[in-house]
Each structure stands twice: as C-alpha cells, then as structure tokens.
Structure 1
Amino acid sequence: MQLITRPVLRLLRPVMDYALPPRCPGCGIIVEDDDRFCLPCWSSMTFLGEPCCDRCGIPFPYDMGADALCGPCLANPPSIDRSRAVLAYGDLARTVALKLKYGRRIGLSRLIAQQMVRHVPLDAGENVLIVPVPLHRWRLWWRGFNQSALIAGQLARATSISVNSELLVRTKRTPPLRNLNPMARKKIVRGAFALSANAKAQLKDRDIILIDDVHTSGATAEACAAALRKGGARSVMLICWARVLPDAPDD
C-alpha cells in the first residue's frame, strides 16, 4: 500500500482538523495545533532546569555556581552521573503520563520527547546511545508496549542519536513501587536488570542517556545504571518526563 506523501497530508490537514481537531493533552479542549497545551494547562506546569544540582537535578532557590551539588549528592553520590526531568510531578504531569501508559495515547510519546530535547547535552555525538528503562516481558505482553521505549524512539528521531531498546533487560518481575520507602524500593529492584547478549560490545566506553517516564526515588534508574556500568558504559545520564520533588507525594 502506498504511503500518503507530505504534500497530500498538507492538503488533507484542514479536513482532518475539522473532523478530529487537535486537543490539549492535559484537559482535552481544542487547541491550535498538535502537541500543544492550552494556556491554563501550560501555566500550571512547573518546568525544571537551571539553577539545579548539577548531578541529580533538584532545583536550587538561586544560582549556586557551575557544578554545584546538593547536600545528598555530596554525602552519597548517586550512580547516575546526571539526572534531568522536564516537569515537577503534579496533576498535569501525572495525567499525561497515565494517558500514555494506561490510556494507550502513544502519540504523547512524541510530545514528551520534544520537551526532553532541551536536556540532551549539546555536545552529544556518535558515542552517545539512548536506552529506555525496560519492562518485564509479562508486563510488556499485558500492556502491549513500553512507554519508555516509545519516548526513547521519538527522542532518537528528534536528535539523530542512536537508540537501542533491547540492550537492557528486566529479568525480575517487581511489584508496583508506589507508597514504598526508598530503602524498600532499592531492595525490590536490586538485581532486576541485566544486559542482553552482546551488549558489552555496544556499551564499551559509551555515554548512555537512560529514558524513563517518571522519576520517584531513583531506585529503578540506579539499578539500570549499575547494570549499564557493569557492561562497560562510561557514563549514564537519566532524562525523564517528570520527577517527584522531595516532600511531594508520588501517587
């Protein structure tokens, strides 16, 4: 079957917009274009960025200088070399994440990836590899897709960075980590991730961008980073859609 060309799509766009108008990913009202939030939803989002801890990305109240670290990172440096998130976890960030994960709105992976681009290092070159946090095979079978892999694929398209969604494997089926304390989360995911066959040849001296949808305690990302480093990765950076800030609920 012949694919519809871009010129034809441009001609059909007014008809498509009339029949299926673009809607805000947050509240669902009609908006001007695809992947756009309405003004009230956009205004309600708390975007994360500078100034922040150079390592974990926790926001600072003011600029503390280049390479400044927060107290927890100074006392107990995480395995992740750098963590960044698009948004602070809140009502809208949760809504978008749930629509993608459980509502099967897979087109939202493109929107999320577009917002992640600003956190990709400007000097990212051929040595960088995008890797999504994997799902266990039974959860993947039940859901039908891995939301982190969808986001990773869209980010790869937007940045022209290579992606490998099969390199990291979830070998242990873990229960939901919601409402568990950080120590319990860390214990549950310990040993839950492994590398696929021939992964070490692809990982040696590579800089990895690990992709996840929501960052809570960081236990999952830390377990993934441990497996990647064991396989020879030079560094691991985490980029996610939303993260739970200290003292914020992670429901």
Structure 2
Amino acid sequence: MSFAQAVMPVVDLIFPPRCPLCGDGLIAHGGLCPPCWIELAIPGEPSCAACSRPFGGGVPQGATCAPCLGDPPRHDGIAAATLYNEASRKLVLALKHGNRLSHAKLMSRLMSAKLPFVEEDWLVVPVPLHRWRIWRRGYNQAAELAREISAVAGGVLVVDLLERRKATPSLGGLGKKARRRALSGAIGVHRKRKDRLKGAKVLLVDDVLTSGATSDACVSALKRGGAAKVVIACFARVLDEALEHTRGGNREVPFEEGL
C-alpha cells in the first residue's frame, strides 16, 4: 500500500469529499454525485468521420459533416469528453479561474476514456498560453490536463513544444478571417523542440474547443514543423446542435478557447 493510499481515509475524515458541482457529500474524492454525472453531456455515435461531430439519428457511421466537407480540417480528429453545457462549464471555470487544480484529474480521466489510441510514442502537447497570462494566473490549465492525460493514457508530455509568441486580442465576435489574422504568427514551435516533432504523432490538449481558431493555429504550426498526425483532445466542445440529441443539453454562452 502506498503512502497516499494509507493516509487517504484520514484526509477524507478531515476534509469530507464533496461533489465539485453541487457540494453534496461523496464516498470518495475525485468524482461527481450521480445526479451531476447525468448532467454532463457525453457525445455519442454516429459522428463525423473527420471531426467526431455527433449526428442525429438516421446518419450512417462514416459520414462526414457539412462543415468538414466545405472546409476540410487540417487536424486528424477531435476527441471531446463532453459537450459544453452548464455542468461542464462549472468544472472548466473552476479549473481555469478558480484555482481548482484538483479538477484536472477528474476532467482528464473523462478525456482519457476517449483516447484509447494514444500509445507511448505519442507526444502530449498543451495549447500554449502567453507568458503574461501564465504569470497572472499562475498556471496553464491545458498543461495541467495534458500532464494528467500523459500519466493516465500514455504518451510523452512536452509542455513547451508550442509557444505563444504574442498576446492576442479577444476573438469574441470576430469572423473566421478576422480570427485567423489575429492569430497569425501568434503560435509556433519552440526552436529547442523542433527535432522532436519530425514525423511525430501529437495529441493537442485544451480545456474547451469553441470556434476552433486557436486549435487550428496550433495544428498548422505542428504540421509545418513536421508532425505526421495531430489529434485534438478537449474536455468540453461547443456544439449547440449536438446538444439537442444529448442528455444534459443545457448550456450558457462560452468563453474563448486557448485563454
């Protein structure tokens, strides 16, 4: 028995486990109460062969969604643990702005369940934050998730493979072309990590996927740097139309990804 396992009953006695969403008592730390588990919207099948966007009934497996047909993605797939709704929003906000780093373990377990393909030869890379934002917040929530995923699902964690070279303005309200202009030159591969990227399979990790502008910039930088494959992993994905077909479908307006 490890030291952590030995002292956990004492920790539970002093700090009784609570559901991070509603505050109800739990048997053990690291989970949610049954009613709150039900509130999470888990994307299912059938889904788009290119981006895993869930379809409604009657669509054959292997079909491609209209957005991917109109603008084929540069990434090689998206693995989302949940769809963005009120329940997932609370967890994301608590991790991102509430200093609840312990939530990263719970969120990463749900993300890892969607990543059976990840093996030891994959690189696990977080979406980078600008250094000033890290200085103010104290950490990069995407890096915390990537660290936990690397430990659970496998893969080699490379926290600084991507770097944010300039601060970017808020992307909210901007069109697709305006977002691309705002992110032009903002994200690149760290010069000391370029050799690790040649022919590599990369798992790009973030907490929320909204418009996809930031993740697209990351994927482009990784592919230019020589990555052979890039799959995006996120805890919550914003897909309003998919929530209509999923239990736990309530949501609020999200914040931006990569911030």
TM-score for both structures, normalised by structure 2: 0.88
Task: Decide which of 194, 203, 207 is 2:201's aligned counterpart.
Answer: 207
Deviation at 1:177, TM superposition (A): 2.7
The whole-number CA distance in structure 2 between the counterparts of 1:171 and 1:197 is 12
Question: Aligned AA for 2:28?
Answer: D
Q: Residue 43 of structure 2 aligns with which residue?
A: 48
The whole-number CA distance in structure 1 between the counterparts of 2:162 and 2:192 is 11
Q: Residue 250 of structure 1 aligns with which residue?
A: 254
Change (3 A) 1:68 1:138: same
The whole-number CA distance in structure 2 between the counterparts of 1:108 and 1:180 is 31
Question: Aligned AA for 2:70?
Answer: A
Q: Residue 137 of structure 1 aligns with which residue?
A: 131
The whole-number CA distance in structure 1 between the counterparts of 2:8 and 2:240 is 44
Task: Decide which of 140, 155, 164 is 1:146's aligned counterpart.
Answer: 140
8 A contact 1:82–1:237 mirrored in 2: yes
Q: How does 1:107-186 map to 2 (within 5 A)?
A: 107-122=102-117, 124-186=118-180
The whole-number CA distance in structure 2 between the counterparts of 1:234 and 1:152 is 20
Question: Aligned AA for 1:189?
Answer: L
The whole-number CA distance in structure 2 between the counterparts of 1:33 and 1:179 is 42
The whole-number CA distance in structure 1 between the counterparts of 2:148 and 2:220 is 25
Identity of aligned residues (%): 39
User: Residues 32-70 of structure 1: CA distance to partner in whole angstroms, max 9, x if unpaired?
Assistant: 112211122111111013221122221111364443210
Deviation at 1:179, TM superposition (A): 4.2
Q: Residue 73 of structure 1 aligns with which residue?
A: 68
The whole-number CA distance in structure 1 between the counterparts of 2:4 and 2:230 is 39
Q: Residue 34 of structure 1 aligns with which residue?
A: 29
Structure 2: gaps spanning 5 or more residues = 242-250
Task: Decide which of 73, 84, 107 is 1:89's aligned counterpart.
Answer: 84
TM-score for both structures, normalised by structure 1: 0.91
SS in 2 for 1:198: helix
Task: Decide which of 53, 56, 63 is 1:61's aligned counterpart.
Answer: 56
Q: Residue 248 of structure 2 aligns with which residue?
A: none
Deviation at 1:110, TM superposition (A): 1.0
The whole-number CA distance in structure 2 between the counterparts of 1:38 and 1:179 is 36
Question: Aligned AA for 2:225?
Answer: G
Runs of 4+ in 1 over 6 A off after TM superposition: none
The whole-number CA distance in structure 2 between the counterparts of 1:195 and 1:114 is 27
User: Residues 109-142 of structure 1: CA distance to partner in whole angstroms, max 9, x if unpaired?
Assistant: 11111001122143x3343111100000110111
The whole-number CA distance in structure 2 between the counterparts of 1:59 and 1:104 is 32
8 A contact 2:80–2:235 mirrored in 1: yes
The whole-number CA distance in structure 2 between the counterparts of 1:125 and 1:80 is 18
The whole-number CA distance in structure 2 between the counterparts of 1:205 and 1:181 is 33
Change (3 A) 1:188 1:246: farther
Deviation at 1:93, TM superposition (A): 0.7
The whole-number CA distance in structure 2 between the counterparts of 1:163 and 1:30 is 34
8 A contact 1:199–1:231 mirrored in 2: no
Question: Aligned AA for 2:62?
Answer: D
Structure 1: gaps spanning 5 or more residues = none
Aligned residues: 245
The whole-number CA distance in structure 1 between the counterparts of 2:193 and 2:7 is 44
SS in 2 for 1:130: strand
The whole-number CA distance in structure 2 between the counterparts of 1:93 and 1:59 is 17
